[in-house]
Copies of this chain bind each other. A is one copy, B any other.
Amino acid sequence: MDQNKTTRKGRREGKRQSIPYSTIVRLTQYLRILDRLNSIGITMVSSNDLCEESRVNSFLVRKDLSYFGEFGTRGVGYNIAYLREEIAKILGLDVKRKLVIVGAGNLGTALAKYRGFRERGFELVGIFDSDPTKIGMRIDNLQVESIFKFDDFVRVHNGIDIGIIAVPAFSAQYVANTLLANNVKAVLNFAPIPIEVSENVIYQSVDLTTHLEILSFYLQDSNRKG
């Protein structure tokens, strides 16, 4: 990404060195690899093992971790359970985040039904739409609510951390404005259109067309690895 580079650079003056965005992305990958190894009963891992699973080299694995502390044992490697927990802490996954999805179409429904985020501390607390025929519809244990009553909802729930935009392009900016007006702190946009958000809001976007266009570029022989 890159298109997804967070609005702010995640930079910080002061004692701690600035953390590359790519490091954060890789940490999420390490987490997934550790989960898999853990689930098949492996308890220790070396930076070399980790780098074979991902597509980076072992220096980079160690450097990425070294931004945050020392998590391994020299001559031995990393304890998987421990490293998982530490990476989760680094990513702030030890804190519960309240999540809403706006848009109860196919995409919004697909996202809502995805169970993966629950186990990472993300709690889906609401699904919204503007279409009266969708409001009241049940998706798993939630009912679709009216986006026009979003402010009430936020008050009742005492603030929302992350809003996912899964509406058509033409209403995406309206939804974003609604989210921001209600102090949603981070926005993940799936609408195929650039959205304006204020500087202090954390923003990522996922654009299908962008991904396809990138594939298209590299599909050209002249851009392929010699």
**A interface list, Cβ under 8 A from B:** 1-14, 16, 19, 21-22, 24-29, 31-33, 53-55, 90-93, 95, 97, 99, 105-107, 109-111, 113-114, 116-117, 120-122, 161-162, 185-186, 188, 192-194, 199-200, 202, 204, 206-220, 222-226
Contacts and interface: CB of A to CB of B under 8 A. Distances in A.
Contact of A117 (B162, B185, B209, B226): B209
Contacts of A211: 4, 188, 204, 206
Contacts of A210: 25, 28-29
Given A110-B105, A192-B114, A215-B188, A4 B6 contact: no
A55 B2 CA distance: 11
B106 A213 contact: no
A213 B120 contact: yes
A193 B27 CA distance: 15
Contact of A93 (B110, B216, B224): B216
B2 A21 contact: yes
A99 B208 CA distance: 13
B212 A117 contact: yes
Contact of A92 (B106, B192, B220): B220
Nearest to A56: B5
